[in-house]
């Protein structure tokens, strides 16, 4: 009887492992869950109970081995059967870096100028921790860090906690070493640091925030306690192979990556087969433009000769392959010294501490200022005058101080004083207060404060609002400091004579400003609402308010309850809008701006306009015949639909044009409906 029970338990455990592996792959890799979390948990707990009752059924590839386990005393050393070599880095971060690599490859291959372009596989250079995963008989038996390339550390206990990494493979070679990168997604990193800050604020000892996703990922992998590693949200991308015994014979790097996907490994979709130097330059530029929108950190791209036969022919130089190169972007982090800490006053009165820095070249520009965000953050990082700090700048993001670097060993130079936010506005002297539950101090001066007045005008005149071309900071400083502008409508009362009389203002420049002010009167309701500078109302919210109410008068008279009916408007935003329009001077400013000639096309209110795409979610990919991406997005949103950036099971339709890429493939894989521009127009016209 006992033998029969053991046999039934073994069969059930095997069934549960197979089912949980399949569900986990769909959840972690495909981002397409097949069952609810509760249903998954029930199966997982059943397997845990079976293994507790029958310990002999617990296998290395069991999903239960992703968490828990014994705490190690240290890391065992692993010798890589196939060395984990580093890739040469191209020091030229410009387009000529890609051209130089192609020139070297053609020279090494002794190709004449008339020969066809060399085919490359261009992919991302992840900013994470290199990892080698060894599978024997389809089961993950070992995970090791790169180390010095020949010897690494055995971190199998922690790698098993990463949901994206398969514990068992189907139809894989008898021995398979998969090389890839362990990393942490930006959103996961921010959430981790938020939890760490909450622990610090609660008084927990020994807690700290992490400097960047790479350090956080590396620290998680090197935890001796796998239970701690399991709490850190790690991810994985596969990009190469080490030792392989048996299995397919690939002709190209691209084909090998496809096999990795087929075996269940996550492989970055942002990759491209590129022929010749120009295609590499284009990939580098395209990726750079998208870099800050990627959900994870990269510090460059990698070019590899696609043909494996040519890779073998090119071979290696020293410990680097001749057939690959890393083409980086300008560094986004650099160290420099804090010269002073000033306080800036923003458009809404927010006081922001700003570190004045010794000039440093970071993220492609010279940086002299970096935000400290607020008093709490400045104190948490303990930034003081004289400190050497790590500064980060990514894309258009305002540079920030990431952390204070340790003083040199043996230094006895005393540090500056701890930063304290002033309790009065440094511009107008009005009281600076911190509202309950807020992290920021704010000046109470309102438009009495010239700093707020200047920022309000610049915000109103920016390109994404009503756009007054040529109205920059220096001119606004002159107009406000000279008492010529106190409210937004004063802008439109400026005449040519007043502008021409300003210092360093030529007659032609004065005419240009007058013309720009006249042109700015023709705007749109969303731009106008955004330009008013209502706290918490960004461009997206301004569009939703315009669609819902159709008219500024209806919006100004709306109750909080009516505002809450607007898509994406919550209690905080509704209260902010209501508070803004409850101020007589704000309502007066709106009326005066309209009296000055500001106007926009009429919009049908949401209650009156049909919404043929209401409740539908679209993803746009490729080049459409007549519509640009922004125009297509606007049409969809105006018809009640939503536009998402990635394809998932929740996507209703993928709108595909020519040269559609991985998003189209993902839609076909998930069974998501695909449409062209003509079909979209039919739906917009009321077709089904």
Residues classed as catalytic: 125
What is the C-alpha to C-alpha distance for residues 363 and 274, in angstroms, rounded to an integer?
26
Please report the DSSP string for 55-120 in residue order.
GGG--TT-GGGGS--PPPSSPPEEE-SS-----PEES--SHHHHHHHHHHHHHHTT--TTSPPPEE
Q: What are residue 446's phi and psi, to 5 degrees?
A: 60, -140
Residue 583 burial (10 A CB sphere; 0-12, 13-18, 19+): exposed
What is the C-alpha to C-alpha distance for residues 334 and 360, in angstroms, rounded to an integer?
7
What is the C-alpha to C-alpha distance for residues 224 and 226, in angstroms, rounded to an integer?
6
What is the C-alpha to C-alpha distance for residues 403 and 209, in angstroms, rounded to an integer?
10
Beta bridge partners of 122: 272, 303
Token pair 């199998």 is found at 156
Q: Are 266 and 295 in contact (CB under 8 A)?
A: no
Cα atoms in the Cβ-side hemisphere of radius 13 Å centred on 261? 13
Alpha-carbon distances, residue 155 vs 81, 161, 168, 603 (angstroms): 16, 11, 17, 60
Tokens of 260: 């990795």
3-state per-residue secondary structure call for 552-593: HHHHHCCCHHHHCCCCCCCHHHHHHHHHHHHCHHHHHHHHHH
Q: Are 351 and 344 in contact (CB under 8 A)?
A: yes
What is the C-alpha to C-alpha distance for residues 25 and 22, in angstroms, rounded to an integer?
5
Q: What are residue 298's phi and psi, to 5 degrees?
A: -130, 155
Tokens of 660: 């559609």
Token pair 């101020």 is found at 583
Alpha-carbon distances, residue 631 vs 231, 523, 653, 667 (angstroms): 42, 17, 17, 22
Please report the DSSP string for 305-328 in residue order.
ESBHHHHHHH-EETTEETTEEEEE
What is the C-alpha to C-alpha distance for residues 457 and 676, in angstroms, rounded to an integer?
42
Q: Are 129 and 137 in contact (CB under 8 A)?
A: no
Q: State which H helix or E strand residue 678 sits in.
A: helix 677-684
Q: Are 457 and 520 in contact (CB under 8 A)?
A: no
Residues in contact with 656: Cβ distance below 8 Å, sequence separation at least 6, in sequence order:
621, 622, 663, 664, 667, 674, 675, 676
């Amino acid at each position: 009887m006992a033998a029969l029970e053991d046999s039934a338990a073994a069969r059930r455990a095997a069934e549960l492992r197979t089912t949980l592996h399949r569900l986990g792959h769909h959840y972690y890799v495909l981002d397409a869950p097949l069952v609810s979390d509760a249903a998954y948990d029930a199966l997982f707990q059943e397997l845990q109970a079976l293994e507790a009752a029958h310990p002999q059924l617990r296998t290395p590839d069991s999903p239960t081995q992703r968490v828990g386990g014994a705490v190690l005393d240290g890391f065992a050393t692993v010798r890589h059967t196939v060395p984990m070599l580093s890739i040469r880095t191209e020091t030229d971060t410009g387009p000529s870096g890609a051209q130089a690599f192609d020139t070297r490859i053609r020279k090494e291959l002794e190709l004449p100028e008339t020969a066809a372009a060399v085919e490359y596989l261009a992919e991302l250079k992840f900013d994470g921790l290199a990892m080698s995963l060894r599978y024997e008989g389809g089961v993950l038996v070992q995970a090791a860090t790169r180390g010095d390339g020949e010897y690494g550390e055995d971190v199998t206990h922690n790698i098993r906690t990463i949901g994206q990494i398969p514990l068992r493979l189907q139809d894989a070679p008898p021995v398979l070493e998969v090389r890839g990168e362990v990393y942490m997604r930006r959103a996961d990193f921010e959430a981790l640091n938020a939890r760490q800050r909450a622990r610090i604020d609660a008084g927990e000892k020994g807690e700290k925030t992490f400097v960047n996703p790479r350090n956080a990922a590396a620290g998680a992998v090197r935890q001796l306690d796998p239970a701690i590693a399991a709490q850190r949200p790690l991810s994985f991308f596969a990009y190469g192979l080490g030792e392989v015994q048996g299995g397919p014979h690939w002709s190209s790097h691209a084909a090998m990556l496809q096999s990795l996907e087929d075996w269940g490994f996550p492989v970055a979709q942002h990759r491209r087969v590129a022929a010749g130097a120009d295609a590499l330059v284009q990939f580098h530029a395209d990726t750079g433009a998208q870099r800050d929108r990627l959900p994870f950190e990269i510090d460059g791209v990698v070019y590899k000769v696609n043909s494996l036969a040519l890779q073998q022919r090119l071979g290696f130089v020293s410990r680097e392959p001749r057939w690959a190169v890393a083409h980086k972007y300008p560094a986004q982090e650099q160290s420099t010294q804090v010269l002073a800490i000033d306080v800036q006053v923003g458009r809404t009165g927010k006081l922001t501490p700003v570190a004045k820095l010794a000039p440093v070249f970071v993220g492609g520009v010279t940086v002299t200022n970096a935000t400290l965000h607020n008093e709490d953050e400045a104190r948490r990082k303990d930034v003081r005058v004289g400190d050497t700090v790590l500064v980060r700048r990514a894309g258009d993001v305002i540079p920030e101080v990431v952390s204070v670097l340790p003083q040199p060993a043996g230094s006895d130079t005393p540090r500056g004083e701890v930063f304290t936010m002033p309790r009065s506005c440094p511009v107008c002297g009005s009281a600076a207060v911190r509202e309950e539950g807020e992290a920021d101090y704010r000046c109470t001066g309102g438009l009495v404060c010239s700093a707020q007045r200047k920022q309000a005008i610049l915000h109103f005149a920016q390109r994404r609002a009503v756009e007054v071309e040529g109205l920059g900071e220096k001119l606004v400083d002159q107009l406000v400091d000279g008492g010529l502008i106190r409210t937004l409508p004063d802008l439109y009362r400026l005449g040519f004579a007043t502008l021409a009389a300003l210092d360093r203002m030529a007659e032609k420049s004065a005419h240009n400003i007058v013309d720009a002010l006249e042109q700015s009167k023709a705007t749109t309701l969303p731009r106008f609402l955004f330009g008013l500078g209502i706290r918490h109302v960004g461009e997206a919210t301004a569009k939703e308010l315009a669609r819902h109410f159709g008219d500024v008068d209806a919006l100004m008279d709306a109750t909080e309850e009516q505002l809450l009916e607007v898509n994406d408007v919550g209690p905080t935003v509704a209260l902010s809008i209501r508070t803004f329009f409850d101020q007589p001077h704000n309502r007066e400013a709106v009326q005066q701006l309209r009296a000055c000639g500001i106007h926009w096309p009429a919009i049908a209110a949401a209650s009156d306009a049909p919404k043929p795409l209401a409740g539908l979610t679209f993803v746009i990919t490729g080049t459409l015949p007549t519509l640009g991406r922004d125009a297509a997005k606007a049409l969809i949103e105006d018809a009640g639909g939503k536009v998402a950036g990635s394809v998932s099971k929740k996507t209703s339709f993928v709108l595909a044009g020519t040269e559609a890429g991985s998003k189209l493939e993902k839609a076909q894989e998930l069974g998501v409906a695909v449409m062209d521009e003509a079909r979209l127009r039919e739906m917009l016209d009321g077709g089904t």
